[in-house]
Amino acid sequence: MNNKLKTLFFILFICLITPLHLVAADKENFNQGWKFIKEISPVVINQNEVIKPNYNDKDWTKVSLPHTTNIEALPVNDQWQGIAWYRKEFTLDKSEANKQLLIELEAAMNYSQVWVNGQLLKEHQGGYLPVILDFTAVAKLGEKNTIVVRLDNTDNLVTGPKPLKRLDFNMYGGLYRNAWLIKKNQIHITNAILEDKVASGGIFVTYPEATAKKARVEVKTHIRNQKNSTEDIFVVQELKLGNKTVAKNKSQVVQFKNGQDKSIQQFVEVKKPKLWSTHSPNLYQLITKVYQGKTVVDQEVTTIGIRRMEFKGTKFYLNGEQMYLRGVNRHQEYPYVGYALSDNAQVRDAIKIKKAGFDYVRLSHYPHSPAFMEACDSLGLVVLDAILGWQFYDDTEAFRNQMFNASRDLVRRDRNHACVMAWEVSLNETQMPLEFREKLSAVAHEEYPGDQCFTAGWMEDGWDIFLQARQHKIKHHNTGITEKPYLVSEYGDWEYYSNNAGLNQDKMPRQQRLETSSRQLRAFGEKRLIKQAFNLQESHNDNKTTSAFADSYWVMYDYTRGYHPDIESSGLMDIYRLPKFGYYFYQSQRSPTKAYPAMVKMATYWQEDSPLDLKVFSNCEEVSIYVNDKLVETRKPDQDEISEHLNHPPFTFKLNEFEAGTIKAIGLIDGKEKVVEEIKTPKTAKRIQVALDESGVAVASGQNDIVFVYLKIVDEMGTVIEKYYKKVQVELEGDIQIMNNQDIVAEAGIATVVVRVNSLDKGFKVKAISEDKLKGEFNLIETK
């Protein structure tokens, strides 16, 4: 089996053994059966009428979640803003009497109001954290219930950040993540966000001790008794690794009076635990059962990873092992659909980040989805988890309290994730009063007591970790000047883009140094993509001369912005998740492992105008280059001033001349061939090769799964024609939709279609034909 297949099967194995959503029996997916409308002239919605159960919504659009309020063009810097409405009718069985009934919206952009059966039950500021409401008191059993959601995604002084026209990203709109209907018995485990209790609510797992010999897992389960009587309750914790139970703990019987709530604390001892790490992301299933007598009245399953993180001076340690975390920033958008990604799409993004050679990801500049967090747990990606914030501070109590509340909800939502290293309870690139900074940090520590909570912020005073962007010049550049740990939160882009604009990018003249910038679209050709990779190499090498314990390149994927009409193109992959040369530079920085084996990648298209200084990225000890089966040279890695601190410097070959045909790179370790790459000089375009990007996660039915379909213009040998830029028309068969709302045009030889899959009951087919009559198709057989 070749190395690429081994890597693919490993990723598939990780995804299959780790459930992305462990949904308890009392938690039902609530994504289907919604109706939607935008208030766009002449549409005017009468709020008093629309919330009535008998309101006529026949002219509304039927939708399912995740859903965006507007399919945007690409690029977009005038994304739709306004008022949008969602309605859904549903029925509750009479057997749900005496149960607590909740609805959870994982995200609702940005200011939301929610009515159930005509009653306003929730108003919520912020579009990235859950909206949770208890509708028990207004529920109708055995008959129709109606939920109505009003969303306002216009500029908001309470939530920030900057107004859209000055913002360096887009925030989009809609109910763009999952929704859940939750039914609980009268004696139940509470919801941490709904309870709004400091360091409480729900299940809270910490690790007072975690070594290779022994782990002590502390579990606090917050329970409420809504019965009209006093009840005796106990809790059983069962810890499983795969199908094997490794530890159990039964609590003492605790008496709960009518209406009383309290936490039951337990310790689960584990001998020789499988610790969670970036290279071995072992995950356990913690099964929490609440008993009333012999009856299980509530049960939840929590995925946990046993690990300890700590800092010694400026160094970071995971399970006692000192590590330098090589990382990247991520924005969560897709083209056209904005934030409305399926859970599978979120997982595919995480897989791409891990495969690119990273062990750490900074969630810029807001909370990302639960599905992405779960994928980071499964893949061994350390996370810097953030509240919303970018170059905006409003000196009002409403704004400050919103930031404090968002910080609490962020910790409550994500505190049990193994992947979370620190909480970025800070407003990115924003001047903030010291008192405010200290309060943000204090809030996170209140919510997560103990020595495993670390806060991070953009200014030196106030947080545990100092976030520094390279474009603002790194303080404490030399080791030993400060003992506060810091990381390089952003680098590789802005310092190469233009004169440093500080915090006013939108005010700068367009003085792009195009040839030397890191902002390079795939369309700009190999010379400029090689320059981008050079910038990444130079800056990453420089970061490692500092005492920073981590760095995070800006950015993983190209993205759109509110303040600028162009795509921000410093990504290692374009907005369609197609790699640039810089992607392979970082991939080469991870040493070969069984999961991620040896790699070699030549930064060339091998055409007549290709540079003869050939850069090769590899994690091998030597690389041999052949042209048309003739050995040109075998070299060791470069030794120069921009390579000396890299894990695996690239290899530079100075070729004498171009010779059409096949150029081959062979990666060698201990003198033995480990990996081979061949690139053929492209000839005449012959056909379209249609490929579905599943990234190890099979396309799913009934989940609004979003996938990329790549239309590669190739010659008779299957070589992509990089200089092909013509239109391609696409026809679909099956229950799927094209989300592109403009002409589909090849860029650097590849056109991309964004497809939403509704159902796979009969499979689907994609047919493509270019304007010069090249053809291709892809057929996914029906699923059973």
Segment 719-764, tens digit of pLDDT: 999 999 999 999 999 999 999 999 999 999 999 999 999 999 989 9
| Angle separating helix axes 3-17 and 370-379, nearest 10 degrees | 120
Query: Which of the four pLDDT bands, split at 50, 70 and 90, describes residue 392?
Result: very high
What is the tens place of the pLDDT at every residue in 538-592?
999 999 999 999 999 999 999 999 999 999 999 999 999 999 999 999 999 999 9
pLDDT for residue 149 is more than 70: yes
Confirm if 231 and 225 have CB atoms less than 8 A apart. Answer: yes
What is the tens place of the pLDDT at every residue in 45-69?
999 999 999 999 999 999 999 999 9
Q: Are residues 57 and 149 in the same domain?
A: yes
Q: Are residues 405 and 449 in the same domain?
A: yes
Q: Are residues 281 and 231 in the same domain?
A: yes
Compute the Cα dihedral for 529, 530, 532, 537 and give only its sign. positive
Confirm if 683 and 715 have CB atoms less than 8 A apart. Answer: yes
Report CA dihedral (397, 400, 406, 407) to the nearest 10 degrees: -140
Q: Are residues 621 and 647 in the same domain?
A: yes
Residue 400 to residue 387: CA distance in whole angstroms? 13
Closest C-alpha among 524, 590, 587 to residue 558: 524
What is the tens place of the pLDDT at every residue in 64-90?
999 999 999 999 989 999 999 999 999
Phi, psi of 161 (to 5 degrees): -80, -140
> Quick check: is 313 in a domain?
no
pLDDT for residue 469 is more than 90: yes
Confirm if 222 and 251 have CB atoms less than 8 A apart. Answer: no
> Quick check: is 43 in a domain?
yes
469-503 as b/e: b if 16+ CB within 10 A: bbbbebebeeeeeeeebbbbbbbbbbbbbbeeeee
Mean of pLDDT over the chain: 94
pLDDT for residue 9 is more than 80: no
Q: Are residues 455 and 472 in the same domain?
A: yes
Q: Are residues 613 and 557 in the same domain?
A: no
**Tokens at residue 622, please?**
């030597």
- For the chain, the 3-state helix, strand and coil shares in percent, each to the nearest 5, are 15, 35, 45
What are the helix and strand counts (H, E) for the chain?
10, 44
**Tokens at residue 123, please?**
């108003």
Q: pTM of the predicted model, to two decimals? A: 0.95
Residue 376 to residue 23: CA distance in whole angstroms? 18
pLDDT at 770: 98
Q: Are residues 160 and 205 in the same domain?
A: no
pLDDT for residue 18 is more than 90: no
* Exposure of 513 in the CB half-sphere (CA atoms within 13 A): 14
> Quick check: is 427 in a domain?
yes
Per the structure, the complete domain to which residue 741 belongs is given by 687-780
Find tokens 């760095």 and name the residue.
551
The residues that bridge with 601 in the sheet, in sequence order, are 617
Q: Are residues 417 and 540 in the same domain?
A: yes
Share of the chain above pLDDT 90, in %: 90
Measured in whole angstroms, the distance separating CA 766 from the mean position of its chain's CA atoms is 28
How many C-beta neighbours within 10 Å does residue 253 have? 11
Q: Are residues 426 and 571 in the same domain?
A: yes
How many C-beta neighbours within 10 Å does residue 393 have? 17
Q: Are residues 452 and 539 in the same domain?
A: yes
We report the CATH number of the domain holding residue 103 as 2.60.120.260
> Quick check: is 170 in a domain?
yes
> Quick check: is 513 in a domain?
no
Query: Which of the four pLDDT bands, split at 50, 70 and 90, describes residue 473?
Result: confident
Enumerate residues 6+ apart whose C-beta is below 8 A from 122.
112, 113, 114, 131, 132, 133
Query: Which of the four pLDDT bands, split at 50, 70 and 90, describes residue 25?
Result: low
Confirm if 473 and 482 have CB atoms less than 8 A apart. Answer: no
End residue of a domain, out of 149, 184, 219: 184
Enumerate residues 6+ apart whose C-beta is below 8 A from 606.
658, 663, 679, 680, 681
> Quick check: is 541 in a domain?
yes
Residue 127 to residue 187: CA distance in whole angstroms? 31
Q: Are residues 52 and 132 in the same domain?
A: yes
Q: State mean pLDDT over 704-728.
A: 98
Residue 507 to residue 391: CA distance in whole angstroms? 13
We report the CATH number of the domain holding residue 627 as 2.60.40.10
Indicate the number of domains in the chain.
5
Do the bridges between strand 600-602 and strand 613-618 make them parallel or antiparallel, or are there none, so unpaired? antiparallel
End residue of a domain, out of 562, 587, 612: 587
Residue 590 to residue 359: CA distance in whole angstroms? 9
Phi, psi of 472 (to 5 degrees): -100, 5
What is the tens place of the pLDDT at every residue in 478-516?
555 567 999 999 999 988 875 444 445 455 455 456 778
**Sheet containing 687-693, strands listed edge to edge, beginning at the edge strand earlier in sequence:** 687-693, 705-714, 750-757, 736-738
DSSP state of 261: E
Q: Are residues 166 and 265 in the same domain?
A: no
Residue 114 to residue 137: CA distance in whole angstroms? 15
> Quick check: is 753 in a domain?
yes
DSSP state of 645: T
| Inter-residue long-range contacts of 198-202, CB under 8 Å, 24+ positions, other chains counted | 198/408, 198/446, 198/447, 199/446, 199/447, 199/448, 199/449, 200/263, 201/412, 202/412
Confirm if 84 and 173 have CB atoms less than 8 A apart. Answer: yes
**Tokens at residue 768, please?**
């493509």
Residue 654 to residue 657: CA distance in whole angstroms? 9
**Tokens at residue 224, please?**
């409420």
10 Å CB burial of residue 142 (0-12, 13-18, 19+) is exposed
> Quick check: is 553 in a domain?
yes
